Chain A
Amino acid sequence: MAVIDLANPSRFLGFANRIIPWLGALTLVVFAFAISRAMNAPDDYQQGATVKIMYLHVPGAWLGMLGWGLMTMAALGTLVWRHPLADVAAKAAAPIGAAFTFICLVTGSLWGRPMWGTYWVWDARLTSVLVLFLLYLGVIALWRTVEDPSRAARAAAILTLVGALDLPIIKFSVDWWNTLHQPASVLRLGAPTIDPSILIPLLISALAFTLLFAVLLLAAMRNEILRRRVRTLRLLQASTAS
């Protein structure tokens, strides 16, 4: 079966139904491996056991950004090719990306409390992730405001593309803003080089969360396709009943 065949929603449903159990099982296995590696990874010499929050925090940040990247590609699919599956992918990716961004914010906050002595600082990186989270919520709000799914998809696609243009500028400006007011050196986490004993569990953990993202996305897309079918059937039923 060629990839292009998946453009048909029915074929996509068949594909999703077949692959979700296998991908889910693989995710569980990788998660079990990642947890055991993370638990056995050495503590940081300065931060102690709290460094283990990183195995949740860093994948959250990475998938939060990946989510917007996927939505941007789906937005191009929506606007350029009017592709119905791109609409579905964009809609399904938004809450998942928002959830991972939220995980990144919450775990970062819990990590900051013992390490920096506060739950929140207006550090450049924290602020730009917060703005990303706000943009996610804006897109979700837009999806929930427009009733017709294909119109909502195009409105959300335009907002997603504008956000994708603006996000690097926001990131840059927030970096500039922070370095102007306070040196970032206080809040930097030591040298950027990570010891392999911590880096490898982190990469495995990132892989596990990426698989989870894929499974959740496929399942959410399947649910969205079914939801649209139910909606169409109900509309038909209502119009024939009267």
Chain B
Amino acid sequence: MSALAAMLARDLRVAVRVGGGALIGVLFFLVVVTLTPLALGPDLALLQRIGPAILWLAALLANLLALDRLFAADHEDGSLDLIMTGRAPLELVVAVKGLAQWLTTGLPLVIATPPIGLFLNLDAKAEGALVLTLLVGTPGLTFIGLIGAALAVTLRRGGLLLAVLVLPLTVPVLIFGVAAANAAVMGPVPFGTPFTILCAFTLASIVVGPFAAAAALRQEME
């Protein structure tokens, strides 16, 4: 257990130091949300209506940005080889890396959502629903992303391929995340229905993601 805790502490420390880029995702999130009204026009009623969708899309893309360095950085400096020869099960190590990744990229997005939501004229109820759906949905995005990050670790055009592989798999998270956020504001279905399905999908991806990512890493590093 201490090896996994050390792994988590190391990943968090690396992320916040120089070159880690923990908060660049949030900055990207802010930039995307700023650009969207410039493309759509400053109609506050329209922005209020599509605000949850914009924030979800921006979160999806921001989450993707950090993924390609997740295993690639460890691969380049050789620490991935050490991790794989270590005694801790690779699946658990991958899950811990996913947790660290979420803490440094997913959670900041969730925290940044209320102030950024003000730009899109969201009211308190919509903000609350959005924060809740992002809190539950972003771990799902991260753990699906683990698979793509592991598949692309040794590839030269890894980052580009990663987006193409991962984004279609995140369709359910996007649909139920936006649906739950919208349901809280305008109905007609209760908030709980899409929200519980979103929870189920995130839990399933937390189970499947580490196993698939560990299998991908094993075959890549042979």
Q: A138 to chain B: which residues have CB within 8 Å? A: 164-165, 168
Selected contact of A165 from candidates B151, B189, B194, B208, CB within 8 Å: B208
Stretch at the interface among A9-17, A36-44, A98-106, A173-181: A173-181
Of A159, A162, A166, A177, the most chain B CB neighbours within 10 A belong to: A162
Determine whether the beta carbon of B179 is less than 8 Å from that of A155: no
With A141-B164, A159-B165 already in contact, the answer to whether A173 and B176 are too (CB < 8 A) is yes
Number of interface residues of B (CB under 8 A): 27
Q: How big is chain A's contact interface, by range?
A: 20 to 34
Q: A131 to chain B: which residues have CB within 8 Å? A: 168, 171
Q: SS class of chain B's interface: helix, strand, loop or mixed? A: helix
Q: B219 to chain A: which residues have CB within 8 Å? A: 151, 154-155, 158
Q: B215 to chain A: which residues have CB within 8 Å? A: 79, 158
Determine whether the beta carbon of A174 is less than 8 Å from that of B171: yes
Q: B212 to chain A: which residues have CB within 8 Å? A: 158, 161-162
Determine whether the beta carbon of B201 is less than 8 Å from that of A142: no
Q: SS class of chain A's interface: helix, strand, loop or mixed? A: helix
In the complex, chain A residues 147-183 whose Cβ is within 8 Å of any chain B Cβ = 151, 154-155, 158-159, 161-163, 165-166, 169-170, 172-174, 176-177, 180
A-B contact number at CB 8 A = 72
Per-position 1/0 for B142-164, Cβ under 8 A of A: 00000100010001110001001
With A158-B215, A177-B179 already in contact, the answer to whether A169 and B172 are too (CB < 8 A) is yes
Q: B169 to chain A: which residues have CB within 8 Å? A: 135, 162-163, 166, 170
For residue B216, CB closer than 8 A to chain A, the reply is yes
List the A residue with the shortest CB-CB distance to B209: A162
Determine whether the beta carbon of B220 is less than 8 Å from that of A151: yes
15 CB contacts below 8 A, A to B, read A79-B215, A134-B168, A138-B164, A142-B151, A145-B156, A145-B161, A155-B216, A155-B220, A162-B212, A163-B169, A169-B204, A170-B172, A173-B175, A173-B176, A176-B175
